[in-house]
Amino acid sequence: MSFDPHTASALGVERRRARAELKASIAHGRVHILELFDSAEGTTDPVVGGLRVAWFLGSIPGMGATKISRVLERTGVLPTATLRGLRVRQRSALRREIVALFRHYYSHLRGQLVIIVGPSGVGKGSIARWILENHDNFALSVSATTRAPRAGEHSGDHYFFVSEDEFDAMVRDDELLEWALVHKQFRYGTPQFALELQLDAGINVILEIDIQGARAARRKIRHSLTVFVEPPSFDELERRLVGRGTEDTPERLRRLRTARAELKTSGRWDALVTNHDVAEAGQSIVDLAHASIEARAFKE
Ligand code: 5GP
């Protein structure tokens, strides 16, 4: 095939134009920088694969020359390197940097972490299920626990049921965002990796955890929304726990004692929702989540 200078320069112009469009899309958040970065590995798209790393970093709002050169230095990447040409180590080091930058500069595009707390039996589980069934873009974080499955519970649905040794390993390997011994009996913890992945993908994640865990999680995740669900009355809570019939009497008494203590914290969370009706309480939480996302976008 003979070289045609006209075609070659037309191609050059086209690629430059494509790069400029891409830059604008990144700046406006229409293109997800993490997805773009991941898609560059082994791509055949000359525009994406041929992007220079320095240029790519520069397209992230807030990234100036000094910050770019620091990232390049830390990751051992040359300014002239292209996204396609990265070595495995460089790619994973750079990805970690991009994740941190993304969380910082694009926090308004992240999903909303919604932490639902409240006493045992108040209906947190039913409210969370209602939200998942009635609203797209919400997911439930699946906790790990050392308690045994109840009838009808399967590992991976509501919990990952693990042994004490397996839980120890998760703690040791820093896999949990938080964990707690609940009702002085069993350990429960939130797997961090899956949670962050979902938030980065713009999915709103619901955590249904105990109060100690909620305090730890809200400290660790920026812009979390904590919602306390209270029963219409304490008598009603007692009726619901009896009605559920999943606990024996000593266990129920223990949970009621914990509930009394937990109800005293109700004013210390971002919002308070009374569970008169599951759909109504669920919708209130969804509205709060949307308001929180909007407030974040406005602030950034
Ligand atoms: P259950 O055994 O009735 O499913 O849950 C008992 C308690 O454990 C509930 O109050 C629930 O909120 C809490 N819990 C569930 N998952 C987690 C978790 O990942 N971390 C913490 N800290 N508490 C959890």
Which of 124, 182, 227 has the most ligand 1 atoms within 8 A of CB, as the residue to mutate? 182
Q: What is the pLDDT of residues 57-114, one digit of tens each?
A: 998 878 899 999 999 999 999 989 999 999 999 999 999 999 888 888 777 788 999 9
225: amino acid identity, one letter = L
Q: Identify the pLDDT of residue 136.
A: 92
Tell me the CA–centroid distance for residue 293 and ligand 1, in Å. 26
* Ligand 1 atom with the shortest distance to the CA of 213: 22
Q: Identify the pLDDT of residue 255.
A: 83
Output the tens digit of pLDDT for each of the chain's 300 residues. 555 666 767 777 888 888 888 888 877 778 888 888 998 988 888 888 889 999 999 988 788 999 999 999 999 999 899 999 999 999 999 999 998 888 887 777 889 999 999 998 899 999 999 999 999 999 999 999 999 999 999 888 889 999 999 999 999 999 999 999 987 889 999 999 999 989 988 899 999 998 999 999 999 998 899 999 999 998 988 888 777 777 778 888 888 888 899 999 999 999 999 999 999 999 999 999 999 988 887 665
Tell me the CA–centroid distance for residue 180 and ligand 1, in Å. 8
Q: Identify the pLDDT of residue 76.
A: 95
Q: Identify the pLDDT of residue 256.
A: 86
Please give the distance of CA 245 from its chain centroid, rounded to a whole number. 33
Tell me the CA–centroid distance for residue 208 and ligand 1, in Å. 7
81 within 8 A of 90, measured Cβ to Cβ: yes
Provide CB contacts within 8 A for 222, sequence distance 6+: 103, 107
pTM, entire model: 0.77
Ligand 1 environment, Cβ below 6 A: 120, 143, 147, 178-180, 182, 188-190, 208-210, 212-213
